[in-house]
Amino acid sequence: MEHPHFIVALTGNPQAGKNIIFRSLTKGKLFYKNTEKNDLPLPNGSFVYAGYKYKAIEFPGILSLSSPLKEAGYTTEYICSGKVNVIVITGHALMLRNLLHLLKEILSLDLVRDRQIPVVLCLSCCDEAEQNGVFIDISLLHDVLQIPIVPLYGFSREQMDNLKAAFHYSVQPQHRAEFLYNCLDFSPAKLARECITIQRSNTYRDNYIEIL
C-alpha cells in the first residue's frame, strides 16, 4: 500500500553537493515550479522508498536565514508554510560550523518547534574530509542535537539509501515525539570544534581551526 506524498525540503549551505543529492534521489526526473509567494523556480522531483512517496524540493544554498539575499527569505517562507514534512539541512563536512549555524536558525523557527517538523542533518563529502585528515564524531553530534544525522561518503546508491532511510524514520508517527529540539543552547562554533579531530600537523590544525 502506497502512502501520499511527504514533502522534503532540501536546504543547506552553498557548494555542499545538494544538487547532486537532489538529482540522485530523483534519478534526474525533475521539473521547475514556483512556490506560492515567490518567482524563483525551484527544482521538484519525486521518489519512492519503502512504499512511501516523497516529493523533494531543492532550495538555493544559503549560509543563514537572516541573509539579505532573497533566497534566504524563500527558504524561511516555505519552511514556515506548514507544508513541509521533513527538512534536510546539508553542509560540507569541512565546513561544519556553517552547517550548524544554519541548523540552529532553522530549529529556532517557532513553527518547526511547535509542530515538531522532523529535521535531518546531512554531512556531505565526509570522504573528502577524512582524506584531508579531518574526522567528525557523529556520535557526539547526535548526542547533543538528538536528530538523525547522515554522513555521506560520496553519492552512491547506498549513500542515498541511507539518506532515504533517515526520511522514512522521521515520518513515522511513533518517532514524532523525538523531535523536541531541546538542544538550542549549543554554540555552533564550539560544537564544531568539539566534534572534530584533525590528524595532521599542528600548522594544518591551527589553520583549519581558524575557520571553525
6-12: strand order across its sheet? 30-34, 41-49, 52-58, 6-12, 86-92, 119-124, 149-151
Question: Global pTM?
Answer: 0.91
Q: Output the pLDDT for position 64.
A: 97
Q: Which of 125-129, 131-135, 183-187, 200-204 has the lowest mean pLDDT?
A: 200-204
Q: Label residue 212 by pLDDT band (50, 70, 90).
A: low
What is the pLDDT confidence band of residue 205, given thresholds at 50, 70 and 90?
A: low
Residue 136, all three cell numbers = 567528525
Q: How far apart are the C-alpha atoms of 50 and 68, rounded to whole Å? A: 40
Length of the chain equals: 212
The confidence band for 28, taking pLDDT boundaries of 50, 70 and 90, is: confident
- pLDDT tens digits for range 70-94: 889 999 999 999 999 999 999 999 9
pLDDT bracket for residue 210 (50, 70, 90): very low
Asked if 25 contacts 17 with a C-beta cutoff of 8 angstroms, the reply is no
